[in-house]
Structure 1
Amino acid sequence: MHILISPNAFKHSLTAEEAASAISEGLMQSRLDCTCECFPIGDGGDGTGELIIKKCKGQLVNADVTDPLGRKINASFGLIDGGRTAIIEMANASGLRLLEPGELDPLHASSFGTGQQIKLALDKGARKIIIGMGGSATVDGATGMLKALGIHFLNAECKELGMLPADLTDLASVDLSTLDERINDTEVVVLCDVDNMLLGKNGAAAVFGPQKGASVENVKKLDSALAKLAEVALQQTGKDMSTIKKGGTAGGAAAGLYAFLNAKLVNGIEYFLHLTDFDKALEKSDLVITGEGSVDEQTLQGKGPFGVAQSAKQKGLPVIGLAGMVPLVRNENLKKYFDVLLAIGNQPFDLPAALACSAANLKRTSAELGDLLAIAK
């Protein structure tokens, strides 16, 4: 039996690579006679870019940029396809993991550093930019990135706004005349792991603002700021940021790049699987194991394990899903794609303890799963 092991990251616990390794180790400890291929996956979330760079044997580029609060840091991005395509992980320059809990401040956090990386990629000759937006610390509608690329955000007196996104409610116009001309000949692709729109109760500020440190009052301010940005963008570009599906990704950064850079917003896992030639790995497999922290109805909205399971089912392969949490009641929609869903917990735990035991629990569950498959054979 040849088993393809393709988990997503287990959020706040394991990277996709670490999860795949734990599953493989568990299977090797079992009585099952099998071979395994680890093919960790990403759906646009934090870590997706790194996986693409490794899978495509890309080159890392390190450079000094600014973090979400404007401090100088060293961050990397990747070049693949002979340097023609850049892979940028937004979290590397503009991520939550760069900030201490007490530093979270989405009213003032900027994506400027990611824009600096885009500019550096253009300097290197890249004419296709793929951006994974998971794990960002910002709700600035990409204004920081766009500012790094030469765009100016002006008030009614044609003076540049001092603080983004906090001052966006005073936005009157956007000066596009100084935008880096090279971007016009560059394809920009945004890998999205959510479908949220830009505004409203399910929008960028309301859903993602609190995760990035926004108070109830700040969520209202951020939503108003993004609404103003969308209003001006529509006037000047003819593109409506507020109606584009997936526009709420990364605090509205996806919508901002769509409006001002003509970016393509794509389903992250579908794009990842195509780019990394996942079908080739499926062709030699007898069984697929995937998973992430939680597998539930939301998984079917385009999350990584769903993309894996959907691809496997198209080739008639059985799929096993492993997760920290699965539905208590049998879910027929999930059963269409996951032949077996297993929760990896071994005893009642609070969340911090459960997260700390994820690797051990994955390894143990996979070993038991291997023994069960050996009996079935």
Structure 2
Amino acid sequence: MKIIVAPDSFKGSLSAVRAAEAMRKGIQTAFPEAEVVMVPSADGGEGTLETLVASNNGKKKKVTVTGPLGTAVEAEYGVLEETGTCIIEMASASGLELVPRTALDPLKATTYGTGELIRAALDDGYSSFILAIGGSATNDGGAGMLQALGMKLLDSKGEEIFFGGGELKRIHRIDLSSFDPRIGRSTFVIASDVGNPLIGLDGASHVFGPQKGAGPETVRELDAQLSHFADKVAEVTGIKLHHRPGAGAAGGLGGAFQAFFPSRMERGIDIVLAYQRFSDHLSEADLVLTGEGRVDAQTASGKTAMGIAQAAKKQKVPTIIIAGSVGDGAESLYKHGVVSVNSMVNGPMSLDEAIGQAASLLEWGTEQVVRSYFHKGVRKQKGVF
């Protein structure tokens, strides 16, 4: 019996690595003889750096950078030494988790620290990058990142604008003369499953602004600010980001990469699975288990569980999902190779209680799932009983 466990992180409670270990324990409680292959995964958001470094014997380097609200934070980037690829997770420098919920302010939040991370990696000699851009606290169109890399965003007096999405309307001219020339000699793969445009009702501000602290009036203000920024970008590059798919990712950071970097955007889970050689692990596998904190209709938009199931389906290996909670629309995953979606919660409890017991609950839930799936008849059929 060969079972692959390939969970994402369970946000706020378990990293993907810890989740995989809990699932392994659950399987081997039920079937000590089982071969368990742990492939902790991610979809381009938080945890992507850790997942890729862990699965490729990579290393991490810590860098002190400017956090989303202008204070210093300790971030890190990873390096896959076999290929020399640098992994930058923008959430490490400019993420939601760095800002208390009561202090969220997308009018002021900046991506400057993400630019500083890129600059530090360039200084260390790296030229091949994977950028995981999920989980941002920002809505500045990537302006801060561009400033950190030498671009000048100048007001009508020829002075640099300040940080944040609320400053973009002050841009009178974009000066590229000091933009780091090493950018043009490097390659950037942007890990993102967001196809939203920069502006409009489906754009960065309207769709993602509220989770970053923006009320209705602020959302409209941010959308107008990004529209002005896109106008100025078009003046110097000829690229119109306004309605360009993917430009709205990470508060417009995706658009900055599209306009000023030699880059391409790919679905985050596909990048991770390729670097993990996931398809190789599927050989002779009987079952794939994956999971994340919540599974619902959004999971089918390219989240980890969806990508895992699609990859497994190609090799005719069934997938079962174990989640902290299951919401509306989870049934849409069944047509993509998912056998069932299960909650690991085994009784009435608060969210805080579930988070506190996440490892033991996931272990228990996994044990029950595999006991049920590999019942006596199935085990005989597979020659493992």
* TM-score normalized with structure 1 length: 0.94
Q: Tell me the SS of whatever aligns to 2:239.
A: coil
Q: Distance in 1 between matches of 2:103 and 2:60?
A: 28
Offset at 1:201? 2.3
Equivalent residue, structure 2, for 1:48: 48
Find the aligned partners of 2:272 and 2:83 in 1 and give their Cα distance. 18
Change (3 A) 1:23 1:119: same
Q: Which residue of 1 aligns with 2:355?
A: 355
Question: CA contact under 8 A between 2:297 and 2:329: conserved in structure 1?
Answer: no
Aligned to 1:96: 96
Counting only pairs closer than 5 Å after superposition, residues 88-127 of structure 1 correspond to structure 2 as 88-127=88-127
Where does 1:1-377 land on structure 2 (aligned, <5 Å)?
Answer: 1-31=1-31, 33-82=33-82, 84-326=84-326, 331=331, 334-372=334-372, 373-375=374-376, 376-377=378-379
Note the aligned Cα RMSD (angstroms). 2.0
Question: In structure 1, what is the Cα distance between the partners aligned to 2:251 and 2:112?
Answer: 14
Aligned in 2, Cα 1:94/1:287: closer, same or farther, shift over 3 Å? same
SS at 1:196's partner residue? coil
Unmatched tracts of structure 1, length 5 or more:
none
Tell whether the 8 Å contact from 2:297 to 2:330 is kept in structure 1 after alignment: no
Whether the 8 Å CA contact 2:296–2:326 is kept in 1: the answer is yes
Q: CA deviation at 1:87?
A: 0.7
Q: Read off the aligned partner of 2:51 and give its amino acid letter.
A: L
| Cα distance in 1 between the residues matched to 2:190 and 2:75 | 19
**Quick check: 341-350 or 363-372, which moved more?**
341-350
Change over 3 Å in CA distance of 1:368–1:69 after alignment to 2: same
The 1-side partners of 2:107 and 2:310 are apart by: 39
Q: After superposing the two structures, state which structure 1 stretch, 57-66 or 309-318, moved more.
A: 57-66
Report deviation, 1:175. Answer: 0.8
Question: Contact (CA 8 Å) 1:154, 1:172: kept in 2 or not?
Answer: yes
Whether the aligned pair in 2 keeps the contact of 1:115 and 1:147 (CA below 8 Å) is: yes
1:332–1:199 CA distance, 2 compared to 1 (3 A): closer
Q: Which moved more, 1:16-25 or 1:97-106?
A: 97-106
1:4 aligned partner, one-letter code: I
Tell me if the contact between 1:68 and 1:109 (Cα under 8 Å) persists in the aligned partners: yes
Over the matched positions of the two proteins, sequence identity in percent amounts to: 37
Deviation, structure 1 residue 163: 3.5
User: Please, which runs of 5 or more residues in structure 2 have no aligned partner?
Assistant: 380-385
Post-superposition CA distance 1:31-83 (Å, at most 9, x none)? 46411111011101111012112212222222222111222233211122457
> Distance in 2 between the 1:113 and 1:82 partners?
27
Q: Which moved more, 1:104-113 or 1:334-343?
A: 334-343
Contact 2:68 2:113 in 1 (8 A): yes
Deviation at 1:177, TM superposition (A): 1.1
SS of the equivalent of 1:323 reads strand
Matched residue type, 1:24: R
Query: How many residues are paired up?
Result: 377
